[in-house]
Chain A
Amino acid sequence: NKKASVQRGGVNIANKTIEDIVTRIQDETEGVPIRTVKSFMTKIPSVVTGTDIVQWLMKNLFIEDPAEAMHIGSLIAAQGYFFPISDHVLSLKDDGTFYRFQAPYFWPSNCWEPENTDYAIYLCKRTMQNKTRLELADYEAENLARLQRAFARKWEFIYMQAEAQVKIDRKKDKTERKILDSQERAFWDVHRPVPGCVNTTEMDIRKCRRMKYPHRVKKSVYGLVEEGTQSRSPIHTPSHHCRKGTKEDVEKEILFLNTQLDRHRMKMSKVAESLISYTEQYMDYDQFVTAQEPSNPWTSDDPSLWDLEASKEPSQQRMKKWGFSLEEALKDPSGQELFLKFLESEFSSENLRFWLAVQDLKRMPQQDVAQRAQDIWAEFLAEGAPSSINLDSHSYERTSQNLKDPGRYSYEDAQDHIYKLMKSDSYTRFLRSNVYQDLLMARKKVSVCLSSSSHRSISVYISCIN
């Protein structure tokens, strides 16, 4: 239950999902075969092969491509949930490489942020044990040297702690120690990764502040209690804006919900049809769905195609879009120009000019707004205005009122009214007009748009050839 698990702990929701997977993958009946492998004179306890993990992921997460399974498996490894026993690099290979599962004690959900003192103890104790498998890698030796310099004053303390840990470890069963040593190493591979590897413990700073356990104290891997006060993690500061539901908040909510209940909703079947028809109309223009003619400047490596577009000679394909909606025509500067030209021929260009003026008004710097609003009134709405537009009395009254305190939204009603007028009246005539149709024909060329695959929607459009 994802919702319930989000409440648990301060770890992101992805870790919960991964932990479910990691638990399932180790299940005796449904999981991978974890076994002890005999090798030369030794036994390798509790391992599974990379291939076993990849196969399990493919089957249980319904992954078709082994590459995808390896990718997600590598990420789960990088988070520290399983690891290759002979490598510090946490990734998943689809072969006989042996992997072991991490102990839940070391899982990220325990909110580990181990300090350098713990890391120093760990590296130190590794050098104390005479085992080839515990030899420090180059980068670890460098880290140890650095830590020795940084902790010069308390190195005796660290050394003693390392000795104590070695003593504790020696008391454990040989096989158990092998397993624990590898798990401990894998833990440090996550928190002190090999140089060049991704540090998966890095957090998005926007999310840091809201860790669920702000009061929590940084705990030590080796049970250390620092002398003096226990340090609180600097990133676990309590949230400044705990939005508790005050009475006003709830009253506002109720008001809002009541307004929402009154909303008119459209049936899903209608909505689906609308979305489908919009997308299908534009799919011919969508570079990721349909190969374009002329081709994509990126693929042809020819940026001059963009300059061509910027010129005042729109292609037929581009002009076709102006027929999709008034919005589309006005969005394109050339479309806007042509529509204006048409309106001039019908002596109704003041409508579009008014609409454009109000668009400009909304884009102005604040200090210029009031004056511009007055100018627009003078040009389009005042008595005897040079470009008088036709508004219904209601809108006119509203607008007149608004102008008493002119702002960038003073003309919203009026603009809306004029837009609807243009859309229902002038625009439809424009599409049938000679101005538009002749130009459309004039940009004639044979354009054939074919997709590369027979499955893809094929769009073929051939304009009139003379």
Chain B
Amino acid sequence: MACQGLQGGETVASLKRESESLRKKLEEERKKLSDIELNQVAEKIEVLGPLSIKTRRVLKGHGNKVLCMDWCKDKRRLVSSSQDGKVIVWDAFTLNKEHGVALPCTWVMACAYAPSGCAVACGGLDNKCSVFPLSLDKNENLSAKKKSVAMHTNYVSGCTFTSSDMQILTSSGDGTCALWDVESGQLLQSFHGHTADVLSLDLAPSETGNTFVSGGCDKKANIWDMRSGQNIQSFESHESDINCVKYYPSGDAFASASDDATCRFYDLRADREVAVYQKDSVIFGASTVDFSLSGRLLFAGYNDYTINVWDVLKGTRASILFGHENRVSRVRVSPDGTALCSASWDNTLRVSWAAYL
């Protein structure tokens, strides 16, 4: 029995060595095709003029840190969730609060608007993700129609509807992602591979695609096939937790935000990191990213209360936005690219857009 145990130990060690050498080989293969850097090729395109982005709406109403928000497809409504357990649906154009729900738990870390505009999903420390149909009757208690859909064994960090109101995708502190059928609450597919909390996910924008990207505390960003549950591609170049991942609009690439104070850009076809967005004066962790409609700009929210706007192709910073009085937890560009919403630990959401002349 003693020698069996010894054999077991050696096997794991030799397997680990094999894995390590394969990893090195993979890095070499990836490097082979990097004949030039993105920002070098981008030297030929025109420099962007000075960006003038103004905040013109401040949404006040949450009693504590705003942790998440999502735009409605109608381009003006949005849903937000907070540490105080409240989820609010706003018409950002008029500043009207249209719906409000109080969840029994605090730290509602994730919220999403359904594609139809008729429901919202949210979850957090309750380890669940629930769907609330939005009633036209303002007096109706939304909690009454609540549908509990996802069940994880740790906090829910992110959620999104797929292309319809019928499925939601969740990411969790339990290290997994999962796809759920809203009507029945059935688990359709689970995604295992991360070795620590998963903090964020994003669905590929393609009409024909069935993939999504996730990022977490294991510093990895993984691409998943929704049909099989398989991890089809993986990237590891951050030096600390990945707090947020977001696809570039064509779906061929994605960006990430990390506690290591950098944002990075990865291309799926090149199978590697193709840009790092960093500066000596950017010291605090980046918590959230989103692209402008064309993918030319990357809006990134940081723990130093600012939003840095990066020129995705040239790798330089195009602008810095001040205004929030605490960490920025989420930034999202509206569905038609006309506005940017930022949510913060200062209990507010701000809506900003480009001001010309």
Contact = CB atoms under 8 A, between A and B. Distances in A.
A231 interface: no
Interface of chain A, main secondary structure = helix
A206 B296 contact: no
Nearest to A64: B281
Interface in B167-182: 167, 173-175, 181-182
A279 B33 contact: no
Interface in A227-262: 240-241, 243, 245-247, 250-251, 253-254, 256-258, 260-261
Interface in B217-254: 217, 227, 231, 233-234, 239-241, 248-250, 252-253
A123 to B, nearest CB: 26
Nearest to B28: A261
Contact of B274 (A268, A367, A451): A268
A276 B42 contact: yes
Contacts of A250: 12, 15-16, 19
A13 B285 contact: yes
Contact size class for A? 35 or more
Contacts of A224: none
A418 to B, nearest CB: 11
Contacts of B227: 409, 412
A376 to B, nearest CB: 17
Interface stretch (A14-22, A31-39, A378-386): A14-22
A176 interface: no
Contacts of B252: 274-275, 278
A205 interface: yes
A286 B167 CA distance: 30
Contacts of A243: 175, 195-196
Given A207-B241, A288-B51, A17 B19 contact: no
A254 B19 contact: yes
Interface in A164-210: 198, 202, 205-207, 209-210
A456 B46 contact: yes
Per DSSP, are chain B's interface residues mostly helix, strand or loop, or mixed? loop
B357 to A, nearest CB: 5
B187 to A, nearest CB: 10
Interface string A410-424: 001001100100000
Contact of A271 (B241, B269, B355): B269
A282 B293 contact: yes
A443 to B, nearest CB: 18
Contact of B49 (A269, A416, A452): A452
A393 interface: no
A291 interface: yes
A14 B241 CA distance: 12
Contacts of B207: 327, 330-331, 359
Contact of B294 (A57, A267, A289, A359): A289
Contacts of B182: 365
A198 B167 contact: no
Give the most central of A13, A206, A246, A273: most B CB within 10 Å.
Answer: A206
Given A285-B294, A364-B166, A266 B46 contact: no
A363 B161 CA distance: 10
Interface in A339-394: 359, 362-367
Contacts of A18: 283
Contact of B16 (A75, A245, A278): A245
B141 interface: no
**Chain B interface residue bracket vs A:** 35 or more
B79 interface: no
A68 B231 contact: no
Contacts of A287: 292-293, 336-339, 353-354
A265 interface: yes
B15, B42, B281, B292: residue with the most chain A Cβ atoms closer than 10 Å: B281
A115 interface: no
B260 interface: yes
Given A367-B184, A455-B49, A419 B33 contact: no
Nearest to B219: A6
Contacts of B206: 327
14 contacts: A14-B303, A71-B304, A71-B305, A247-B8, A250-B15, A254-B19, A260-B26, A268-B33, A268-B35, A276-B42, A279-B313, A287-B337, A291-B354, A457-B48
Given A251-B15, A260-B234, A287-B293, 17 more contacts: A6-B240, A12-B259, A14-B259, A57-B281, A61-B280, A198-B325, A241-B174, A279-B294, A287-B339, A288-B51, A288-B293, A298-B338, A362-B163, A365-B166, A365-B181, A366-B184, A367-B184
Interface of A: 2-3, 6, 12-14, 17-18, 21, 57, 60-63, 67-69, 71-72, 75, 198, 202, 205-207, 209-210, 240-241, 243, 245-247, 250-251, 253-254, 256-258, 260-261, 263, 265-269, 271-276, 278-283, 285-289, 291-292, 296-299, 303, 306, 309, 327, 330-331, 359, 362-367, 409, 412, 415-416, 419, 451-457
Q: Which 9 A-B pairs have the closest CB atoms?
A: A453-B49, A363-B164, A282-B294, A456-B49, A272-B41, A286-B294, A366-B181, A365-B183, A257-B22
